[in-house]
Amino acid sequence: MKSGFTQCWKQRYIWIFIMRLVVLWVVRLLSWLYRIIPGKVRGGIVFGLLMMESRIGAPAQSLPRLYAIKDNLERLLSERAMAYEGGEHPKHRLMMYHDFFIKNISPNSVVVDIGCGYGAVARSVAANVPGCRVIGVEMDEARYEQAVASRNPDNLHFVFGDAFEVLPEETADTVILSNVLEHIEDRQGFLRRIVEVLSPSQILIRVPAFEREWHVPMRKELGITYFNDRTHFIEHTVHEFEKEMSDADIEIASLGTTWGEIWAVCLPMVRKEH
């Protein structure tokens, strides 16, 4: 009985393997055929298909489908943009948002960048703020390894793990939360934990803004996700952001909106005594 079961699974595995090879061959063949069609014609074909898709059903039915296509296209654009930039997203260069952090950090500061990703912001701060010491914290192993493997200055090092568990046991002058807060469900608890452990003089926060384009409230009205990342718990209005900071006993020293984001310098009102 066991032998027959094993044989059946072997046959199934071989069949799946063969089918995958066939699918890959068909995809490569179609890609080759598609490539020989002139670019403008390819664009016309794609637009024609989208046009037909948009006319199936009432607008309330077709719009969610079109937004799903738009989301997939955005993912492709980001992937190709990173390939264009050699592995780092060009938004770092084009939006110049690193400058927001650099100009708001004093020389000789201890800086903790929580959710530092592959370390782009942390590297910029370490390289451009005289005398500073930067600690990047990242819980995604692949991004952490990419950060560590990069060409990092001596005043920068990285810590792997959940920030709730591995925050450095020392005072930080500045904490950076760059596109991090929206990924946290218990944001008040998270902010209070940062203040309790690190006792920072300031927290520099960058989050996506709800009020960035008309598509966002349109998607909300349609009852579909309006977040630009599926792992977000919120994308703040300015009012929501201000209320969350107040509820966490954090004062907003300055706030601006640019590139569809909220950039804020925040000051904890209660700091741990050392």
Please report, in tens digits, the pLDDT of each residue of the chain (274 residues total).
445 555 666 677 788 888 888 888 887 888 888 888 898 998 999 999 999 999 999 999 999 999 999 999 999 999 999 999 988 889 888 988 899 999 999 999 999 999 999 999 999 999 999 999 999 999 999 999 999 999 999 999 999 998 778 877 778 999 999 999 999 999 999 999 999 999 999 999 999 999 999 999 999 999 999 998 889 999 999 999 999 999 999 999 999 999 999 999 999 986 544 4
Q: Are both 165 and 256 inside the same structural domain? A: yes
Q: Are both 168 and 72 inside the same structural domain? A: no
| pLDDT tens-place string over residues 15-59 | 888 888 888 888 788 888 888 889 899 899 999 999 999 999 999
| pLDDT tens-place string over residues 167-190 | 777 789 999 999 999 999 999 999
- pLDDT number for residue 26: 86
Domain encompassing residue 119? 91-268
CATH number at residue 246: 3.40.50.150
Is residue 146 a part of any domain in this protein? yes
Chosen domain end from 85, 109, 134: 85
- pLDDT number for residue 274: 45
Is residue 273 a part of any domain in this protein? no
Q: Are both 212 and 154 inside the same structural domain? A: yes
Q: Are both 67 and 159 inside the same structural domain? A: no
Q: Are both 59 and 128 inside the same structural domain? A: no
Longest distance between any two alpha carbons in the chain, whole Å: 73
Q: Are both 53 and 107 inside the same structural domain? A: no
Residues in the chain: 274
Q: Are both 139 and 172 inside the same structural domain? A: yes
DSSP string, 236-251: B-HHHHHHHHHHTTEE
Under 8 Å between Cβ of 90 and 99: no
Q: Are both 229 and 121 inside the same structural domain? A: yes
How many whole angstroms separate alpha carbon 245 and alpha carbon 236?
Answer: 11
Under 8 Å between Cβ of 125 and 109: no
Q: What is the DSSP letter of 41?
A: H
Q: Are both 102 and 144 inside the same structural domain? A: yes
Sheet holding 202-208, edge to edge: 156-160, 133-138, 110-114, 174-178, 202-208, 261-268, 250-258
How many whole angstroms separate alpha carbon 238 and alpha carbon 224?
Answer: 22
Is residue 171 a part of any domain in this protein? yes
Chosen domain end from 64, 85, 106: 85
Torsion of CA 189, 272, 109, 205, to 10 degrees: 20
Structural domain total, the chain: 2
